[in-house]
């Protein structure tokens, strides 16, 4: 189930510091861009694969108990980054363009290197120091400009004023170059740390090298003639040469990905292509002559998305026959039926998907949506039970609370319905609606009960931070 959830962020102190220093060091969007935000993509199959990719790396880095989360962004470009010390952000394009598991694992190892090295907190310190230095330089320069202006009005020259302007510009440029140099060093350190983690987990660093080498080829023209001291990352050719030098010494350099893992990787790439790309692009990637499981998966999803339910179900059923214990084939079957206005027919497939996925919360939410969508009151208690379990383990997904509100409404439990609706609105970033619904919910609950306390928390809460 590929869901899009709006990414809401408030401008961080780091963003403010970057703006004050007139540089751009981290891929953190501005406040305006954050409000529009690229949405987050949610999919159990993809997230599970990324967790399995990162788990041994985080363990090698000593971060396995830090609850580092993987966040997939709705961006087609190849990019991954860390921004807050607790999440690794990955564009879906990075997954789609990684031909092997090792290529994306190498990128994740590099980002883990940033987390393990505490680069974000260290960069904040550097930025804070730079901000102080820049303010001092600006004040001194402004004083010189003011003095120059007074003297030039009486002496007929503006030499001192020009000197004041230079006093502002000179230190700013030096500070900027110093910060960029610092970040280039961080990138090199993250490369080395990533190779170390891959070696510790008996994985090849070749994928990381292949990815950065490809970036080098693509960016050679753009980097030609660039000043290396004005770049936030090492010069591409130099970075790849250094990476190859120490990565190729790994005893696992030539180790290949496990074929079963490669198949799972290809299945996720096929799913992403089907959901995110135009049908003609999907069929170019996966023509009818391609009879592999990933190609059939991509075509089946694309077929249902573009209106041919009967043909899609035939294709999905063939996939289920090939892998009867694959929960995601049942999930896609249920989703296809549900989105085609057949919620009752979707229920058996979604129950099977929940069972085979060990009750994955996002799939439970889809099942709850199907149960609610039937308008059959006999399903109401089951829907409430399933949705409550789902939101308890996945508390930041608005879909679960939205469907839970509908189920409670059907039961006539309007206090819980208002509370669930308020929680859904709060997670969507609609704070005005959330407070209104929570305020009404408080009037329906007895004072001091758990429901009243939750509603009161929403009334008093600040907007959520992702």
Residue pLDDT, tens place only, 137-148: 444 444 444 455
Assess if residue 112 is contained within a domain: yes
Angle at 123 (CA atoms; ends 121, 125), nearest 5 degrees: 75
**Contact status, residue 255 vs residue 203, Cβ threshold 8 Å:** yes
Predicted confidence (pLDDT) per residue in 79-88, tens digit: 888 877 788 9
Note the pLDDT of residue 18: 26
**Contact status, residue 367 vs residue 350, Cβ threshold 8 Å:** yes
Assess if residue 129 is contained within a domain: yes
**Contact status, residue 106 vs residue 209, Cβ threshold 8 Å:** yes
Domain limits at 184? 1-257
pTM of the model: 0.78
d(CA 258, CA 256): 6
d(CA 312, CA 167): 68
Assess if residue 6 is contained within a domain: yes
Question: What domain count does the chain have?
Answer: 1
For the cut 50, the answer to whether the pLDDT of residue 220 exceeds it is no
Q: Which of helix, strand or coil describes residue 81?
A: strand
Percent of the chain with pLDDT strictly greater than 70 = 73
Assess if residue 252 is contained within a domain: yes
Assess if residue 70 is contained within a domain: yes
Predicted confidence (pLDDT) per residue in 167-199, tens digit: 445 556 555 555 555 566 778 888 899 999 999
Q: Give the dihedral of Cα atoms 335, 340, 343, 344; nearest 10 deg.
A: -110
How far from each other are the two terminal CA atoms of the chain, in whole angstroms? Answer: 21
Predicted confidence (pLDDT) per residue in 240-262, tens digit: 888 899 899 999 999 999 999 99
Assess if residue 390 is contained within a domain: no
265: Cβ contacts below 8 Å, ≥ 6 apart: 49, 98, 100, 101, 104, 257
Q: Confidence band (pLDDT; 50, 70, 90) for 4?
A: low
**Contact status, residue 168 vs residue 142, Cβ threshold 8 Å:** yes
d(CA 280, CA 258): 31
Assess if residue 459 is contained within a domain: no
Query: For all residues of the chain together, what is the average pLDDT?
Result: 81
Assess if residue 383 is contained within a domain: no
Q: Where are the alpha helices (DSSP H) in 259-412?
A: 259-276, 279-285, 293-305, 309-322, 327-339, 343-356, 361-373, 380-393, 398-411
């Amino acid at each position: 189930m590929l869901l899009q959830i709006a990414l809401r962020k408030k401008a961080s102190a780091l963003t403010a510091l970057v703006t004050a220093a007139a540089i751009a060091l981290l891929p953190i969007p501005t406040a305006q861009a954050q409000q529009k935000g690229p949405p987050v993509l949610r999919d159990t199959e993809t997230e599970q694969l990324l967790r399995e990719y990162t788990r041994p790396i985080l363990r090698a880095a000593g971060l396995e108990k830090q609850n580092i989360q993987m966040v997939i962004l709705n961006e087609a470009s190849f990019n991954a980054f860390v921004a807050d010390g607790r999440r690794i952000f990955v564009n879906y394009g990075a997954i789609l363009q990684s031909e092997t598991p090792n290529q994306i694992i190498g990128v994740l190892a590099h980002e883990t290197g940033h987390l393990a090295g505490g680069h974000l907190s260290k960069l904040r310190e550097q930025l804070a120091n730079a901000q102080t230095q820049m303010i001092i330089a600006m004040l001194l320069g402004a004083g010189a400009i003011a003095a120059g202006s007074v003297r030039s009005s009486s002496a007929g020259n503006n030499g001192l004023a020009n000197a004041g302007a230079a006093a502002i510009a000179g230190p700013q440029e030096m500070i900027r170059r110093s910060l960029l140099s610092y970040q280039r060093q961080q990138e090199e350190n993250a490369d080395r740390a990533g190779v170390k983690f891959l070696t510790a987990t008996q994985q090849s660093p070749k994928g990381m090298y292949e990815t950065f080498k490809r970036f080098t080829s693509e960016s050679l023209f753009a980097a030609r003639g660039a000043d290396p001291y004005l770049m936030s990352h090492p010069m591409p050719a130099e970075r790849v040469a250094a990476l190859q030098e120490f990565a190729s010494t790994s005893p696992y350099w030539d180790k290949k990905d496990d074929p079963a893992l490669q198949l799972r990787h290809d299945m996720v790439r096929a799913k992403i292509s089907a959901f995110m790309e135009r049908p003609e692009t999907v069929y170019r990637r996966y023509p009818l002559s391609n009879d592999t499981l990933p190609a059939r998966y991509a075509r089946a999803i694309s077929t249902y998305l573009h209106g041919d339910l009967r043909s899609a179900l035939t294709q999905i059923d063939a996939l289920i026959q090939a892998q009867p214990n694959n929960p995601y084939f049942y999930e896609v079957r249920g989703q296809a039926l549900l989105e085609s206005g057949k919620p009752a027919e979707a229920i058996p497939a979604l129950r099977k998907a929940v069972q085979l996925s060990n009750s994955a919360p996002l799939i439970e939410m889809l099942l709850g949506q199907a149960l609610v969508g039937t308008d059959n009151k006999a399903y109401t208690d089951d829907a409430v039970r399933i949705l409550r379990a789902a939101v308890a383990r996945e508390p930041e997904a608005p879909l679960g609370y939205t469907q839970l509100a509908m189920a409670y409404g059907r039961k006539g439990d309007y206090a819980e319905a208002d509370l669930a609706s308020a929680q859904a609105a709060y997670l969507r970033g609609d704070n005005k609606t959330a407070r209104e619904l929570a305020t009404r919910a408080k009037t329906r609950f007895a004072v001091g009960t758990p429901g009243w306390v939750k509603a009161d928390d929403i009334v008093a809460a600040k907007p959520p931070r992702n």
